[in-house]
Structure 1
Amino acid sequence: MSTWMLLFRKEMLESTRNFKWLWIPLVFLLLGISNPISSYYMPQILEANGIDSETVALLAMPTAAEIMAKSLSQYGTIGIIVLALGFMGIIATERQSGSAIMVLVKPVSYTSYIMAKWSAMAVITVAALGLGQLGTWYYTGVLFETVSFQLIWTSFLVYALWLLFLNSITLLFSCLLKSIGGIAFITVGVAALLSLVTGLLSEWMKWSPSRLSSEAGNLLLEGQSSNDLWLVIVVTMIIIGGLVVASVAASKRMWKRE
């Protein structure tokens, strides 16, 4: 445990030096506050672009819950890309520079090394998502109406698990590949492909981790989740564990070859 803690502190320090603690949460915060602000001023924006006021008056103003749910969908596009770009080189860069070998020649286990990386990714991701959600909740409450904080908290936990799943994919391919750009491409591709397949085969893929994003939105819109939510959560956590174990095994194999 002490070895893991030292490695984790090292990752936190490096993330601070690389400004990941600044720009990743900042992007999520901007995504979070942009939706309620743009929704509130949309009538004025449309009128300024030449659309008559009668047509603008016919447009329905979104509810507070719809605004919160739409913000989550933005994290599912731009947010995933930001995380993939931020973490794609978390191991691949150290393999290229040789610094990983310098760490692992010491009495450090591969498990501690990988778990420290995963934990650092998780902390930054959860903090960024939480900051974005709080920004959305605050401005939605000021400009529209307040959404129950319990719903915000529950949807936050569900959506955070989806992002941690994608982080685990990024971590695995960062162990397998040296092409940093390819790692980000694969992560975004897996997220898109899994969402597409889940939508097409919804009856057979009720366990799919990609359902976490829609479940988080449903919690905000309907105030309740489907009966399959716990199944999705359990399966996702098992897959995350498998991806971390696979990352440990891949790191051992790749670095022994080198």
Structure 2
Amino acid sequence: MNATAALLRLRTQEIFRTWRIWVLPAVVIFLAASGPVLTRFTNDLLAAALGAGQAAITLPDPTALDAHAQWTKNLTQIVVFVVVVMAAGAINSEIRSGIAALTLVKPPSRTAYVLTHAVVLLAFTSVAVLLGAVVSWLVTWAVFGSAPLGPVLAATAVWLVLAAVLITASLLASAAIDAGAAGVGIGAFFLLVLLGVAPQAAEYTPAGLIPVTNALAAGTQTADHTLWWPVATGVLLASALLAAAAIVFRRREL
């Protein structure tokens, strides 16, 4: 237990001493602050770009829910790649540098080595993204005059399940191969996107996490099986991937 606690402290220190502590929060806060503003003034920008001589295009007035939907689109289109890159280099970079071998000379087990990576990465991602959700809500409230908090928090919480799947998939790849782990994580993301096109896959598998996230932000998702099945299977898949990463790492030569 003391060895695991020491590993958790080490992982936390690694976050604060590397590019991760700056890049992920910076990207998240920028997207959270700029998204509602862009949503509010998109129609005006289009009108200015078309000019007075062009045919008028009638677009619905943007709402606070549109800004929330933009937040989740930013999460699924941009932030996921930052998260994948963070996780993809977590284990194999330490194997190449010899840090893994030195760390495991001490009492921690290889399973604890992998688990602590996952726990700290997911905790760091959760803090950064939930902070971003609050910033997005505050800016949306300031721009639109009012904004419901529930949809953006619910959508962000479901997105974190997707992040857990991608983090564990990337950790599995990082434990198995020396290079290209980020490509595996990104490939897993696009596989979920493609499977999400099929209604049955989106309804009962983690492939539904992306459309559910967007629907929650837009206020169109109900608390039925189309919400809970993707969340439950996403948690199960992340757990299975993490277990596989621990097994693979136990068998790998350092």
How does the TM-score come out when normalised to structure 1? Answer: 0.90
Moved more, 40-49 or 78-87: 40-49
Who is 1:229 aligned against? 227
Who is 2:103 aligned against? 103
Matches within 5 A, 1:50-65: 50-52=50-52, 58-65=58-65
Who is 2:189 aligned against? 191
Counting aligned pairs with the same residue, the percent is 23
Q: Which amino acid aligns with 2:64?
A: A
Extract structure 1 runs of 4+ deviating beyond 4 A.
Answer: 53-57
Whether 1:209 and 2:198 are equivalent positions in the alignment is no
The one-character-per-residue Cα deviations of 1:162-189 (angstroms, maximum 9, x if unpaired) are: 111111111110101101xx11112111
Q: Secondary structure at the match of 1:178?
A: coil
Who is 1:243 aligned against? 241
Moved more, 208-217 or 37-46: 37-46
The one-character-per-residue Cα deviations of 1:189-246 (angstroms, maximum 9, x if unpaired) are: 11112221231x3225522213112112222322634423222222111111111111
Runs of 5+ consecutive residues of structure 2 not aligned to the other structure:
none
Who is 1:220 aligned against? 217
CA distance in 2 between counterparts of 1:40 and 1:175 reads 44
Q: Which amino acid aligns with 1:157?
A: A
Who is 2:172 aligned against? 172
Q: Which amino acid aligns with 2:144?
A: F
CA distance in 2 between counterparts of 1:169 and 1:18 reads 22
Q: Which amino acid aligns with 2:245?
A: S
The one-character-per-residue Cα deviations of 1:64-114 (angstroms, maximum 9, x if unpaired) are: 112201220121111111112222210010010111011112211112111
Deviation at 1:54, TM superposition (A): 8.1
Runs of 5+ consecutive residues of structure 1 not aligned to the other structure:
none
Matches within 5 A, 1:125-136: 125-136=125-136
Who is 1:49 aligned against? 49
Relative distance call for 1:50 and 1:233 in structure 2 (3 A) is closer
How does the TM-score come out when normalised to structure 2? Answer: 0.91
Deviation at 1:16, TM superposition (A): 0.6
Relative distance call for 1:160 and 1:140 in structure 2 (3 A) is same
CA distance in 1 between counterparts of 2:39 and 2:55 reads 16
| Aligned residues of 2:72 and 2:217 also touching (Cα < 8 A) | no
| Aligned residues of 2:40 and 2:63 also touching (Cα < 8 A) | no
Whether 1:112 and 2:103 are equivalent positions in the alignment is no
Who is 2:91 aligned against? 91
| Aligned residues of 2:65 and 2:217 also touching (Cα < 8 A) | yes
| Aligned residues of 2:72 and 2:156 also touching (Cα < 8 A) | no
Whether 1:18 and 2:15 are equivalent positions in the alignment is no
Relative distance call for 1:150 and 1:49 in structure 2 (3 A) is closer
Task: Quote the RMSD (CA, aligned, Å).
Answer: 2.0
CA distance in 1 between counterparts of 2:243 and 2:98 reads 22
Moved more, 111-120 or 213-222: 213-222
Q: Which amino acid aligns with 2:63?
A: T
Equivalences, count? 253
Relative distance call for 1:219 and 1:50 in structure 2 (3 A) is closer
